[in-house]
């Protein structure tokens, strides 16, 4: 019996996506480990290089080495490129290269793009990719121009421009990497910096499908149910988060108590926006009250919207869960809103994603509580949720992680960026229906 050595291994779309992120992380880790990438000119420990590369590609922002002081300008540029690749997705760049080279986009590539961008069909995908690239570059450049009005007077023209572009990309891609060493704490009273970065975070976290509908806006009635859910849930989460942050921190002298009312509201707003997977902070996270830290954990867990640069459970998933609970309480058979109902398949997927997400957070928290004996429960839960939501906020524990702890957080960042999406796409595939059903079993619930 002869076996062909040329047998092709066919990978599924979700497998290609997962493998693509791994390849990008590995290449980034190798480059960052080189002496040219560090400010000292010495080679970087490969585990720390991989940790940084994973954090950048997974647009998280957790770091074991200070981005502002440890890495050279070359290393910082590599991190910026990895953030862009991770935020927009390697398939977007693959399509860009194909278009530049004049290559035709095959049906298989379009199907992978569909999964990567979490869209309903392959129609108009190439046009959408072009729109995404043009829109992204335009928004990031505009954001950099606005930030340069604040950074150039402080750092000079060259450094100021680089800082402006770096933080504009980091904000839009919801990465949370900064070159200041203290995130945005020194800019807590700078309305321009806080509002520009907040706007970039929100835009990047809405999802390209929603942004395309906003760009082609004709009337609110023309918006899809998906876009309506994204916009409403995003607005509600930001408003409630801002109000609660203000209430919880208004008397905390270590955060906003000594600020004037404008700055109190500004920083409460930013503390609500940033945990939606961006990872910047304008006040000390360690100095926050316990209730504010817990609120931050909840916001980090929910995250941004589907098809965006953000991570987490996703706003639409959360909205479906809430609508389902409301429907059950009201005695309705289906989850519904705006005169539309959602299929049981969508509801099942939402609850499955919630179960997987909660299970991951619980499992990794328990393991890290065992391996990182010096850390408190809040430190670990905060760190794990931040990694899962690809946020990047920390209570200062990341640099103190053991080697095992670093590996675990690397895995969590990867699962947070790729895992839930991959699971959701896998569940979305149609399975063959069996020709029979089991008899209904009666059980007691609640």
pLDDT tens digit sequence for 193-217: 999 999 999 998 888 778 878 877 7
**Mean of pLDDT over the chain:** 84
Question: Which is higher by pLDDT, 133 or 47?
Answer: 47
Q: For residue 427, what pLDDT band results from cuts at 50, 70 and 90?
A: very low
Q: Residue 361 has what pLDDT? A: 94
pLDDT (average), residues 107-125: 54
Q: Which residue has tokens 């996506």? A: 17
Structure tokens at 159: 């450094």
- In whole angstroms, give the CA distance from residue 27 to residue 16: 16
Q: Which residue has tokens 């069996």? A: 434
Which residue(s) pair with 340 in the sheet?
Answer: 337
Q: What is the percentage of the chain residues whose pLDDT exceeds 70?
A: 80
Structure tokens at 396: 């200062």
Is 181 among the domain residues?
Answer: yes
Q: For residue 305, what pLDDT band results from cuts at 50, 70 and 90?
A: confident
Segments in 344-397 forming alpha helices (H): 344-371, 377-388
- In whole angstroms, give the CA distance from residue 408 to residue 354: 20
Is 3 among the domain residues?
Answer: no
Number of domains in the chain: 1
| 229: Cβ contacts below 8 Å, ≥ 6 apart | 315, 316, 319, 320, 337
- In whole angstroms, give the CA distance from residue 339 to residue 352: 25
Q: For residue 439, what pLDDT band results from cuts at 50, 70 and 90?
A: confident
Question: Buried b / exposed e across 77-106, counting CB within 10 Å, b at 16+?
Answer: ebbbbbbbbbbbbbbbbbbeebeeeeeebe
Question: 313-352: per-residue pLDDT in tens?
Answer: 888 899 999 999 998 888 888 888 888 888 888 888 888 8
Q: Residue 282 has what pLDDT? A: 94
Which residue(s) pair with 336 in the sheet?
Answer: 341
Give the three-state DSSP class for 442: coil
Is 439 among the domain residues?
Answer: no
pLDDT (average), residues 233-240: 94
Q: Residue 54 has what pLDDT? A: 95
Residue 18 reports pLDDT greater than 80: no
- In whole angstroms, give the CA distance from residue 350 to residue 372: 32
Q: For residue 1, what pLDDT band results from cuts at 50, 70 and 90?
A: very low
pLDDT (average), residues 390-418: 90
- In a 10 Å sphere around its CB, with 0-12 CB exposed, 13-18 middle and 19+ buried, how is residue 410 labelled? buried
- In whole angstroms, give the CA distance from residue 295 to residue 271: 10
What are the distances in angstroms from CA 398 to CA 141, 386, 389, 406, 409? 31, 11, 15, 8, 9
Structure tokens at 297: 């954990």
Rg of the chain (C-alpha set): 22
Residue 265 reports pLDDT greater than 80: yes
Q: Residue 313 has what pLDDT? A: 87
Quick count: other Cβ atoms within 10 Å of Cβ 420?
Answer: 23
- In whole angstroms, give the CA distance from residue 353 to residue 314: 10
Q: Residue 334 has what pLDDT? A: 82
Is 440 among the domain residues?
Answer: no
Is 367 among the domain residues?
Answer: yes
Q: What is the percentage of the chain residues whose pLDDT exceeds 90?
A: 53
Q: For residue 79, what pLDDT band results from cuts at 50, 70 and 90?
A: very high
Q: Residue 7 has what pLDDT? A: 44
Q: Residue 56 has what pLDDT? A: 93
pLDDT (average), residues 218-236: 84
Q: Residue 30 has what pLDDT? A: 96
Contact between 172 and 135 (Cβ < 8 Å): no
Residue 24 reports pLDDT greater than 60: yes
Structure tokens at 404: 């095992």
Question: Which is higher by pLDDT, 440 or 197?
Answer: 197
pLDDT (average), residues 304-310: 79
Counting other chains too, the contacts that 320-327 makes at CB distance below 8 Å and 24 or more residues apart are: 320/229, 320/346, 320/347, 320/350, 321/350, 321/351, 321/354, 324/350, 324/351
CA torsion sign, 276 to 278 to 279 to 285?
Answer: negative
Select from 318, 188, 175 the least CA-distant residue to 249. Answer: 188
Select from 178, 211, 397 the least CA-distant residue to 310. Answer: 211
Residue 398 reports pLDDT greater than 80: yes
What is the per-residue DSSP string for 383-440? HHHHHHTT----SS-GGG--HHHHHHHHHHHHHHHTHHHHHHHHHHSPPPPPS--PPP
Residue 100 reports pLDDT greater than 70: no
Residue 41 reports pLDDT greater than 80: yes
Question: 141-161: per-residue pLDDT in tens?
Answer: 999 999 999 999 999 999 999
- In whole angstroms, give the CA distance from residue 233 to residue 229: 6
Q: What dihedral do alpha carbons 344, 347, 349, 353 form, nearest 10°?
A: -160
Residue 350 is part of which domain span?
13-426
Is 7 among the domain residues?
Answer: no
Is 347 among the domain residues?
Answer: yes
Contact between 327 and 411 (Cβ < 8 Å): no
Q: Residue 144 has what pLDDT? A: 96
Residue 89 reports pLDDT greater than 90: no
Strands 336-337, 340-341: pairing is: antiparallel
| 90: Cβ contacts below 8 Å, ≥ 6 apart | 20, 21, 23, 24
Which residue(s) pair with 358 in the sheet?
Answer: none
Q: Residue 10 has what pLDDT? A: 58
Is 443 among the domain residues?
Answer: no
Residue 123 reports pLDDT greater than 70: no
What are the distances in angstroms from CA 91 to CA 95, 203, 422, 423? 6, 21, 15, 18
Q: Residue 353 has what pLDDT? A: 86
Q: For residue 4, what pLDDT band results from cuts at 50, 70 and 90?
A: very low
């Amino acid at each position: 019996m002869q076996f062909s050595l040329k047998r092709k291994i066919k990978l599924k779309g979700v497998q290609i996506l997962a493998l693509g992120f791994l390849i990008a992380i590995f290449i980034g880790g190798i480059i960052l480990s080189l002496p040219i990438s560090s400010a000292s000119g010495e080679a970087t420990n490969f585990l720390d290089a991989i940790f940084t590369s994973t954090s950048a590609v997974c647009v998280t922002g957790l770091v074991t080495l200070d981005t502002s002081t440890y890495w050279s300008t070359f290393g910082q540029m590599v991190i910026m490129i990895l953030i862009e690749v991770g935020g927009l997705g390697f398939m977007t760049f693959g399509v860009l290269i194909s278009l530049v080279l004049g290559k035709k986009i095959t049906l298989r590539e379009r199907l992978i793009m569909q999964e990567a961008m979490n869209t309903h069909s392959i129609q108009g995908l190439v046009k959408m990719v072009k729109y995404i690239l043009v829109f992204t570059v335009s928004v990031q450049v505009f954001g950099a121009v606005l930030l340069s009005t604040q950074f150039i007077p402080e750092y000079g023209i060259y450094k100021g421009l680089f800082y402006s572009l770096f933080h504009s990309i980091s904000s839009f891609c919801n990465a949370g990497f900064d070159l200041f060493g203290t995130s945005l704490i020194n800019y807590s009273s700078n309305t321009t910096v806080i509002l520009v970065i907040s706007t970039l975070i929100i835009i990047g976290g809405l999802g390209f499908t929603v942004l395309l509908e906003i760009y082609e806006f004709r009337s609110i009635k023309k918006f899809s149910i998906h876009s309506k859910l994204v916009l409403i849930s995003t607005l509600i989460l930001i408003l409630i988060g801002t109000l609660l942050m203000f209430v919880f921190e208004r008397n905390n002298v270590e955060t906003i108590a000594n600020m004037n009312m404008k700055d109190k509201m500004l920083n409460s707003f930013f503390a609500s926006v940033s945990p939606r997977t961006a990872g910047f902070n304008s006040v000390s996270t360690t100095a926050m009250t316990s209730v504010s830290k817990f609120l931050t954990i909840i916001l980090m867990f929910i995250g941004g919207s589907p098809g965006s640069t953000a991570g987490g459970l996703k706003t639409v998933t959360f909205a479906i869960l809430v609508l389902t609970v409301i429907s059950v309480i009201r005695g309705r058979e289906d989850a519904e809103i705006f005169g539309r109902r959602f299929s049981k398949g969508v509801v099942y997927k939402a609850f499955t994603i919630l179960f997987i997400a909660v299970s991951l957070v619980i499992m990794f928290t328990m393991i890290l509580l065992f391996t990182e004996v010096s850390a408190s429960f809040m430190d670990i839960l905060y760190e794990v949720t931040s990694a899962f939501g690809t946020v990047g906020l920390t209570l200062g524990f990341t640099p103190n992680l053991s080697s095992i702890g670093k590996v675990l957080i690397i895995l969590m960042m990867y699962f947070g960026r790729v895992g839930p999406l991959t699971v959701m796409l896998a569940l979305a595939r149609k399975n063959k229906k069996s020709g029979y059903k089991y008899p209904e079993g009666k059980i007691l619930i609640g």
